[in-house]
Structure 1
């Protein structure tokens, strides 16, 4: 029997439940599935934890009582190499689908596009936070002996100690999101990694070899200023004493990194929204 109709009215055949639309939660779940399914994701996590702990342990061997190094600074001593893991993760997440040629499929399923970038930011942040926290814990564990020899105790009730350890986590997360933004903007992982390395390390070191007001000011405004979050009070004081640029303090450096992340992600979002996806 066909559907029953009433004159002047639409068919009374019961409708199927309304289609579930594209929601941010579903996009986040999809991006998490893709990220968690990649073996490289877990190698990045393991590499970040291992590099942080190993380098901190090696550098801790040179710590001596009375050298002015705090326990927290010993724990985060492996930061320079540790940030390469989150940076790589972000670049791969941001550029992976573009370089693999699957971006068209993704943005056909999510026509508004921007929820994909937001979801990628969410999953990148979650993975990086977890890796950074695990790295701090592993580093604190392996440096316990050297800290005891140097006579420095890791006091988690001390505000400076908490700031340095939290700064490590925040800085690595910021670096990962910077890599994500550059990956989404440049759409090639290698280009994103090279650009980020230039910004975070190479240009900073080149400016450091030619100190002066202009160079020191430029250094303070590069994303590498986020490393101020990892410096203890003595380290910040020494840095400010040697610099003719602005004295940003720890959180000021974090804000500079945050501004870079926000700016790069905004430009990437604009290109994603207005341009093609190839």
Structure 2
């Protein structure tokens, strides 16, 4: 599981782009060049190549022969303790340490996270581990990357939607630390704990989505059990994070649902047990 957060923190490179285009600011009343609205004009508003990667969260899940999983590692790499180069170096190290056959799982990673990582690697002159060098080719073709934004939309035949929409439809908690639109503001404000929490929670939510997806391929997978293993371990590993009570409440609610379902089944299959109770 992989997620990153980024924002435009240094406009030096963007000023180089403006100089290349011989562009100078005009008044707010004048239209932008080439038919852009001012807010959409890349000469006015820096686009993604000029963003700085500030936070990454990576969860390593290990799958057992019976279809169940355990959380082997949950790594957070973030400002202010690390700069962009150090965050990227940390990502490379986690990839290098991952077991053979490991896959990257994201939501929208092919359109955001992986291109942002690649851009950062180019910027800082870092080298990918050999078995992950497919990332340098844009992740096209048969690669070890599950991008739920692509798979759930039938290869984008359906209109892409926010992950929170998918998670809401499946009753999976999402965006507990902050709404998605607020993250850039949190970065500019230096609210690093909230930024890190948001990044971590996105990874957690995607891992719960993976539980549903794995059920499509393996009938032995019990989704509540799969989810509970992840949640129990995350609650241990991230004790003190502000989102932990929400995960505990979700876990408790799922357990209550299972208990109610079991009691109902007992009433149908063995009503005498209820009478004895």
Q: What is the TM-score of this pair, normalised by structure 2?
A: 0.24
Larger radius of gyration: 1
Relative contact order (alpha carbons < 8 A, sep ≥ 6): 1 or 2 greater?
1
Q: What is the TM-score of this pair, normalised by structure 1?
A: 0.24
Q: 1 or 2, which has the higher strand percentage?
A: 2
